[in-house]
Amino acid sequence: MPSKKIVTDIIVHKKEKTKMAVPKISQHIPSLLRTQKIEESPIMADVVTSSSNSPTYLGKKRTTLTPDIPDDEHNMDVIVPSSIPRPIRLGSKRRFLPFDIRPFREAIIVAIFGLIGIHMVFIVYNGATFKQTLFQETIAGINELKQAKETLTQADLSATLQHFFSAESAFTEARKSLEQINGGKNILPSSLITTSDQLLNIGESLSHAGRSMTEATQILISANNFKLALLSLEQVENDLRDASKLLGSLDISFVPENYQDQILQIRGELPTLKKALDFFNEMTPALLTFTADQNTKRYLIMLQNTTERRGTGGFMGSFIEVTFQNGKLISAIPKDVYTVDWQQFDRKPASQGLQPFMKGLALRDANYNPDFYQASKDINWAYEESRQGSIDGVISIDESIVPFILNLIGPIYLPDFKVTLRPENYFTILQYYIETSKDDPETPKKILLSFIKEVSKKINDPQILLKSWHALPDMIAEKHIQVAMFDPELQNLIEKYHLDGQLLPPEDNIDYLHINAINVGGNKGDRLLKRDYEHEARIREDGSIEITVKGTWKHLWTDAEETQINALFPGLNKLTRKLRDNFWYVIGRSNTKHVVRLFVPKGSTLIANNGFVYSLKPSEENGFLMWYSEVNVPKGGSTDFSFTYTLPYTLNLTVGDNYRFLMQKQAGAENETLTHTVKLDPFIEPLASYPEKANGTSNTSTTIDLDTDRYFEMLVRKK
């Protein structure tokens, strides 16, 4: 875990010639947002001049995070009234931002295709142009790259590969023609020849990189051979590094002005491209380990149904057992959790608040811990106790991605059931057959396993894979995908790039909240619940902080939905009353019942609580103080609850201090909002804030979707 460090700005007043250390935000790094161990960089000595009655900023001791994120995207909104005798700064929000692979992806695309618009041989010297052969060969290479871009967009990998081959060949021939043009007779200046040769070499390298990247994709799709694909990707890395070096040293003075901007734009992508290549270089051995390049590894892909909430997302009714051997995927077997965990005789005790609803944790219940890594260890233990052997890691994918997949691949027809699943009906149809199954009561989830198999057949389509790649960063940030590996080196990388789904390790002097709802009613009612939270922080003149949290859960069932379901299943009323009533209950035409667990800083003091089934009870879990109770919501109605507490620390308002608040969302949760409000007692003023400007007022409020972890910060001091 990252060590705690305090970053300070060293301020020297010209007039008083005294040094003052201004506290800045300490390095609180949430597990989802964690990058790597923080390393101190040398003190910066940048001198900023100022007026006689303003302090001189001599430098700062700072921390560096890698992969770095451009500063201009993470500036705090700072408001420093002229009456303040010295600058007080907000800490960078960088450590609270999810790691995003999208800039890497875009940098590679720009690098490969950016040169398409640069007619590289339109280089004129004393009115003489290069020979026609060179012109034709270079234009041929450019046109082949254009075609490669088009066919890649259409996911036609065979055509894309051929175009990259042809482009590489054309640039190679053009470079040979350039050598023949000069012919050792010094017809053209050496600098011009060098520039031209560099441009053609860049085109050749990028064409070869595109070819290798396409080959790697084909290998993954056709052979599931990760080890072989990585060899092609290593060539991509080498080619892009070569092109990057050439671009960095390129003298563009010989390039026509109307093309210089395009080259400069591509050159501007080089820092991001370098990080992308470093990222790939770091990930290559990890991917080889993950895919068992020298042995055999087995993983569970848990399919979490978020319509029935659990600690890490949703009920794990089904999963896929995946096996890799010598770098190849050799099996992916979908299973029903009930066919496995009936063999589990030893069970761990349930967490506080859950004991009334279960005797112990079976495999299907093993994800009640909101920290995904801890839950994964429980899943592994339960799998072993079910006589299935040990596993090497757990991957979670929740139900929220099903509509996305169906929109990509189109409707799925299940011949055994004679039904077609679409984004708007898949949930209801699946639940109908699961809950009313008569022909095979031992495997009521037969339709779900059939659905998984049909999706697996279509998901290997290259176009689907490319579109899924574009959506991957959002799925990770919103915790619809979580990963835990039991290999320490793999797990370190997973934590670094925020796939781990862990809770933030407790830190001092930061307001923290995680609301974790667990459905104990046995129905899928979470799909019908809209959850709105209000978090109010009252900062007192003595620096103490009082927190009030209000929650409103609204059940969205309507008669219109019931009418639609009856129309979808004309034979519903012909079922036995027991089957019919069970279906309506599970589908959500019923009250919901949840155990709610509230994670706050250890040492917080509860003042009041209202609206819960019983008064909040204290416990400790994952290093936090955890209060728990139950929340029931009537069908079509709503329930309000609230709790008030004081934080275990105070702010130093005399010199100015930062109030910081982090709320971590529950994995897989959707349809939730957060309103965060800061209220200041009289004689306290806001100096700066993130993400909203304080505007010099004593009350600030921000409403935002709780679709990912949310961080807020305000710098305050006494007037």
Dump pLDDT digits (tens) for 142-188. Answer: 677 677 767 766 667 677 777 777 877 877 777 777 666 655 445 55
Residues 559 and 703 occupy one common structural domain:
yes
Core vs surface per residue 330-347: b (16+ CB within 10 A) or e: eebebbbbbebbeebeeb
Nearest-angstrom CA–CA distance, 524 and 513: 25
Of 496, 525, 543, which residue constitutes the final position of a domain?
496
Which has more pLDDT, 440 or 266? 266
Q: Where does a domain end: 257, 290, 323?
A: 290
Q: Which of 496, 521, 547 is the last residue of a domain?
A: 496
Q: What gap in Å lies between CA 173 and CA 391, rounded to an integer?
A: 53
Examine residue 672 and state whether it is found in any structural domain, yes or no.
yes
Note whether 561 and 704 are same-domain residues. Answer: yes
Q: Residue 588, Cβ neighbours under 10 Å: how many?
A: 26
Quick one: three-class SS letters along 410-434? CCEEECCCCEEECCCCHHHHHHHHH
Q: Do residues 271 and 340 both lie within one domain?
A: no
Average pLDDT, the chain: 76
Q: Is residue 593 part of a domain?
A: yes
Q: Quick: pLDDT tens for 321-334.
A: 999 998 888 998 98
Of the two residues 40 and 161, the one the predictor is more confident about is 161
- pLDDT of residue 55 exceeding 50: no
pLDDT band at 618 (very low <50, low <70, confident <90, very high): very high
| CA pair distance 600, 513, nearest whole angstrom | 5
Q: Does a structural domain hold residue 582?
A: yes
Q: Are residues 470 and 547 in the same domain?
A: no
Q: What is the pLDDT of residue 5?
A: 31
The answer to whether the beta carbons of residues 567 and 656 sit under 8 Å apart is no
Q: Establish if 1 belongs to a structural domain.
A: no
Q: Minimum mean pLDDT among 183-197, 568-582, 600-614, 622-636: which range? A: 183-197
Residue 280 reports pLDDT greater than 80: no
Q: For the chain, how many structural domains are there in total?
A: 3
What is the DSSP secondary structure assignment for residue 127, as one 8-state letter?
Answer: T
pLDDT above 90 for 619: yes
The stretch 404-420 carries a mean pLDDT of 90
Pair (591, 653) in one structural domain:
yes
Within a domain: residue 419? yes
- Asked whether residue 196 falls in the same domain as residue 318, the answer is no
When comparing pLDDT for 53 and 627, which is higher? 627
In a shared domain, residues 596 and 669? yes
The pLDDT score that the predictor gives to residue 115 is: 42
pLDDT at 659: 96
The CATH number of the domain holding residue 537 is 2.60.40
Residue 163 in domain: yes
Based on the domain organization, do 122 and 153 belong to the same domain?
yes
My answer on whether 341 and 419 are in the same domain is: yes
* Domain coverage including residue 326: 296-496
Domain assignment present for residue 57? The answer is no
Q: 338 and 394: one domain?
A: yes
Which residue, among 62, 49, 61, 58, has the nearest Cα to 18 in the 3D structure?
58
Query: Which H, E and C letters describe 509-569, residue by residue?
Result: CCEEEEEEEEECCCCCHHHHEEEEEEEEEEECCCCCEEEEEEEEEEECCCHHHHHHHHHHC
321 and 419 part of one domain:
yes
Rg of the Cα atoms in the chain: 30
Residue 64 in any domain: the answer is no
* Edge-to-edge strand list for the sheet holding 481-485: 328-336, 313-325, 296-310, 393-398, 481-485
Pair (225, 273) in one structural domain: yes
Eight-state DSSP code of residue 507: -
Average pLDDT over residues 283-287: 81
